[in-house]
Homo-oligomer: A and B are copies of this chain.
Amino acid sequence: MGIVTPQTARFDEPLKLVCGRELPSYELVYETYGTLNKQHSNAVLICHALSGNHHAAGFHGPEDKKAGWWDECIGPGKPIDTDRFFVVSLNNLGGCHGSTGPSSINPATGKTWGPDFPPMRTTDWVHSQARLADLLEIDCWAAVIGGSLGGMQAMRWSLEFPERIQHCIVIAAALKLSAQNLAFNEVARQAIEADPEFVGGGYQDSNTIPAQGLALARMIGHITYLSDDAMANKFGRDLRSGSLNRGETADAEFQVQSYLRHQGSQFSSNFDANTYILMTRALDYFDLALEYDGNAVEAFKQSQSSFFVVSFSTDWRFSPQRSREIVNALIEADRPVSYAEIEANEGHDAFLLPIPRYLDVFHAYMLRVGASD
């Protein structure tokens, strides 16, 4: 994608939220890749996952070594082909990468929102994103695409604005979190809240950073993103130094331990703790069929989209079984749906990785998108 520049859109009309509160105004930071066609019919929306942001592809400057988080899938000739599509990728409301969130100033107090920032639901994100679509003069997305929490947003889009989304692409997601998913999120939040530097979420006011708690939360999450096999292949029981043989007093350290610590501390220097809590809560609360008496079939009957659902064989966070629940409900609701279960060793993380079969089927499906326009 080359070098890309984030832009910021400001919305001054209050946004009513699911929780009952409203945001008086908000900003969304976003990037675009490719060119919007004359008919404005080739726009694709990317929805990010728990810890994602607007920077999905390309680089921010000539010195930038790290491409956007979905650079494997977005670009010329890639599944989301920027020679064909105008791709919009934004940072969700409540995020910590430029969009209005807990680190922003609350206009009512002149102080950072912190823990008082209203809780977000996927529905709120969809409505905030619809205003961005209006601004960009996109009446109907050729596709809304996301992995994990992003896939949940894509499904929500298809219910909230059926007429504004042609294709809905749902990767490594689920209709709702399981008790085990909820449990991991709960422990992650508690790790943050137990950090004395969290100060009940008011760490910005007290000039502290709950880095240890956030690192712990990330480590817990990270274990669930990788498959048992992937971890075994990557680290096994390899030691960082020393040996486990008898006669050694010093504690041995396994590679997997230092890897996790590194992941944790990297993350905690780039992410905001209140946003992490907000995002995990949005995940917890997501339940696509809740307003349809728990009936996903009835929910999907609201949709007018075609669906593409993808899962990965070793994903135990949102396993193929969870994707098959989506597919079965779509079939019963008479929605057009394609499904691919990809053999991959990498667990949940696979949706971000250049797995040939995954890129191939994704690419093949995207050839259908906009083909009839």
Contact = CB atoms under 8 A, between A and B. Distances in A.
B237 A176 contact: yes
Contact of A245 (B184, B244, B291): B291
A61 B209 CA distance: 49
A19 B228 contact: no
B180 A291 contact: no
Specify which of A182, A183, A212, A251 lies most central, judged by the most chain B CB atoms within 10 Å of its CB.
A183
B20 A248 contact: yes
Contacts of A176: 237
Number of copies of this chain that the complex holds: 2
A290 interface: yes
A108 interface: no
Contact of A21 (B118, B184, B212, B249): B249
A252 B123 CA distance: 17
A216 B244 contact: no
Interface stretch (A78-86, A135-143, A185-193): A185-193
A3 to B, nearest CB: 37
Contacts of A15: none
A18 B179 contact: no
A183 B216 contact: no
A223 B180 contact: yes
A237 B190 contact: no
Contacts of A316: 316
A178 interface: yes
A213 B236 contact: no
A237 B183 contact: no
Interface in A283-299: 284-285, 287, 290-291
A236 B187 contact: no
B180 A290 contact: no
A179 B232 CA distance: 5
A195 interface: yes
Contacts of A291: 245-246
A244 B287 CA distance: 9
7 contacts: A20-B247, A179-B235, A180-B223, A182-B257, A186-B257, A187-B219, A244-B290
